[in-house]
Every structure is written in C-alpha cells, then in structure tokens.
Amino acid sequence: MADFNGTVLTDKGRNLLSKSLTGTTLQFTKVALGDGVWDSSTNPENLDDLVSKKIDLPINNLSVTGDGTAVLRFVLTNTGLTDGFFTREIGIYADDPDLGEILYAVTHSDNPDFIPSDGVVKIENVTDIYTVVSNAQDVTAVISDTVVIATKDDVKNLADVDDSLILNKLKNVDGTGSGLDADLVRGSEPVKFDNNSIKKCDGSTIKNQCTAWVNFDGSDGSIRDSFNIDSVTRDDTGKYSLSFSVDMNNSNYIVVAYGEDYEDSDDPRTREIGLRGGGADGKTKSGFKIQSNMNGSADTSPYFDDISIANILIFGGKS
C-alpha cells in the first residue's frame, strides 16, 4: 500500500465530531479510494468528496483505541474493477443525522500504488486506517461481511474458541440439525457411505453417483477392480452373472455396459453387451445377468463371444 499522510478531518467531519461529543452517534459507513491529484490549492478540510473517487469499500472491523482515535479495517480488493488506477487518496465516510453521508476524514499520497483492473492480477489486502474520534461517546460502523480475510492475529484469537460456539452459530444460520457445515467444523466428511450408497448427512441418497461398477475379464470372470460387486461368474461363452456386495433396495437400477478388445480388427461386425434373462430373472436386488455377442455379417450369424475387458456401471437402486 502507498505511504499516506495522517488523516485530516474535513469541516463536515469536525462538525459531526462536535455533535458526537454531546451524544450523537458517530457511525462510519464506508471507505473510498480515488486517484485525484492534490495541487497546492487543495485544502482537505474543505473537501465534500474525494477529488476523483474510483471505488467504495465496505468496513470490516472497527476498534476504538481509547487514546482519541479509532481504527477502521477494510479489504482493498479489485474485484469487479474495470479500470486500474493509482491510489492517491483515501476517504472515510460517516453518517451525519442532519446531512446524511459525509466525507469525514481524508488522506493523500504523493507516491501512489497502482491497482490493476480485475482479471489482470487479483488484489486482496487487509488495510487499517486511523482517524480521530476524540471522546465521542458512541462510535460505531456499518460492518460488512461480504469480503472476509483473516489476519494472523485473527487466527490466533480463534485458537481457543470452543467448537460448540461455532456449531451454535451454524445452527442459527442453517437451522437446527444442519449436517453439512457442522460436520465440516468437526473435521468429518460432508457425505457418508451407508451400505455402499453415497448419502448426504441428512440421510438422503445422492443419485448422480454410481451405486456399483466393475471391470472384469470376460474369458474367466475375474475382477480387475470394482465397487459393490461381490462376484462375476462366467456361466457360458459370453454369458455372465454378477452379484452385488450389498443388495440394492429395489431392482429399478440402470445397467450401462461397454467392452474393449485387446486386438485391432478390420471385422465390420460390432459387439453388443446387454442384460439377459429379462424380467425378475435378469435383474434382481441381489444381482443381474449380462451377455456379450458379436453381430453377424452376410455370411455369419450372430454368436456369443467372451470379451477381453468388460466395463459395467450401475446407477440407482438405492432410493
């Protein structure tokens, strides 16, 4: 961040401070950055706004030091910034009960930094700026949590926070019984496996996941790798029976099958892999049967054939 001089109260800022000493709330509303050039005729006390304001930034934290000053923290970010600029001026704004939002204090730098537009490089800097509040009785700020960056001290201060406090806060946000955030705070997985079915923490099944799959050798039914497939039995040439490790809840699942052969071939015939048996015999909660066959040509009828690599995927059956 560029080197800035101390903040100077504007005339309107000084008037608001006088009001605050007699009980009016001194509420800071935002911080703004600009690229205005201050010449010798610029008197910061007379400014009603920055000379050339470029971006408004919310206040993330306010701390009254007790020595007549307050520290406002904001996050300098170029998110959404279309044109880069030099940060020559910073303004602190406050709410005046008679005038509305005013420029309370301002500072200027003769050696500004350049903030590039969004997309060139990402800028996110936590910045503290001091201003005079004297003995104002009630100093507040409009605090925004839209952009939050934790400093080293912030993390240190949270080290001794009881998890139960965080969980209670999450319940206030997501409602009692919210599982996802609470499990994440505890270090648990946000999803779980229940009888080989992937479930959310609320117990509902995630339906866009495979409930079983297998890669096996069609010559003997040996399994290379699988999930929720207990066995593959080669019943005959090109015919197989597959059993689930954990039964499905119903037989309304979908079987997707495709195969691979080790050798290239100019044979125009195509291979088909599909369910066999049909009805209750072909697909049950405990397993299913498939077959692999080669389509015939003008000289050859279709025939069952063992496939080198069989790939089977199952969706559904758990709801």
Is residue 304 one of the residues assigned to a domain? yes
144/44 same-domain check = yes
Decide: pTM greater than 0.85.
no
Residues whose CB falls within 8 Å of the CB of residue 308, separated by 6 or more in sequence, listed in order: 217, 218, 219, 259, 260, 261, 262
Greater confidence (264 vs 11) lies with: 11
Does residue 257 lie in a domain region?
yes
Whether 244 is in a domain gets the answer yes
Nearest to 185, CA basis, from 170, 201, 204, 200: 170
Write the pLDDT tens digit of every residue in 135-175: 888 888 887 665 555 555 555 565 555 656 655 655 554 44
Q: How confident is the model at residue 276 (pLDDT cuts 50, 70, 90)?
A: confident
Give CA separation, 15 vs 26, 97, 99, in Å. Answer: 11, 11, 11
Over 90: is that where the pLDDT of 300 sits?
Answer: no
Q: Are residues 126 and 218 in the same domain?
A: no
pLDDT of residue 186: 47
Residue 154 lies in a domain: no
- 6-29: average pLDDT: 93
For 184-204, the pLDDT digits (tens) are 444 444 455 455 555 555 556
Max avg pLDDT among 5-9, 197-201, 262-266:
5-9
The pLDDT of residue 111 is above 60: yes
In this structure, the answer to whether residues 25 and 57 fall within a common structural domain is yes
Please indicate, yes or no, whether residues 249 and 222 belong to a single structural domain of this protein: yes
Q: What is the pLDDT of residue 174?
A: 46
Number of structural domains the chain divides into: 3
- Is 14 in the same domain as 79? yes
Is the same domain home to 221 and 171? no
Lowest mean pLDDT of 148-152, 175-179, 212-216, name the range: 175-179
273 within domain boundaries: yes
Cα distance between residue 311 and residue 15, in whole Å: 78
Does residue 128 lie within any of the structural domains? yes
The residue with greater pLDDT, 295 or 147, is: 295
Q: Report the distance separating Cα 114 and Cα 85, nearest Å.
A: 6
Residue 20 lies in a domain: yes
Which residue is listed with tokens 């039914």? 221
Q: Are residues 128 and 50 in the same domain?
A: yes
Range of the domain at 82: 8-149
User: Which are the contacts of 229, defined by CB distance < 8 A and separation ≥ 6?
Assistant: 212, 213, 214, 223, 242, 243, 244, 245, 312
Q: Which residues contact 96 (CB under 8 A, 6 or more apart)?
A: 12, 15, 16, 19, 102
Q: Do residues 196 and 243 touch, judged by C-beta distance below 8 A?
A: no
Looking at residues 40-65, what average pLDDT do you find?
92
Range of weakest confidence among 4-8, 57-61, 153-157, 179-183: 179-183
Q: Please tell me whether residues 115 and 247 are part of one structural domain.
A: no
Give residue 307's pLDDT band: very low, low, confident or very high (50, 70, 90): confident
Are 12 and 145 contained in the same domain?
Answer: yes
pLDDT at 178: 47
Which residues, at least 6 apart from 176, have a Cβ–Cβ distance to it below 8 Å? none
**Residue 279 pLDDT exceeds 70:** no
Whether residues 80 and 37 fall in one domain: yes
Residues 288 and 221 in one domain: yes
Indicate if 24 and 121 belong to the same structural domain.
Answer: yes
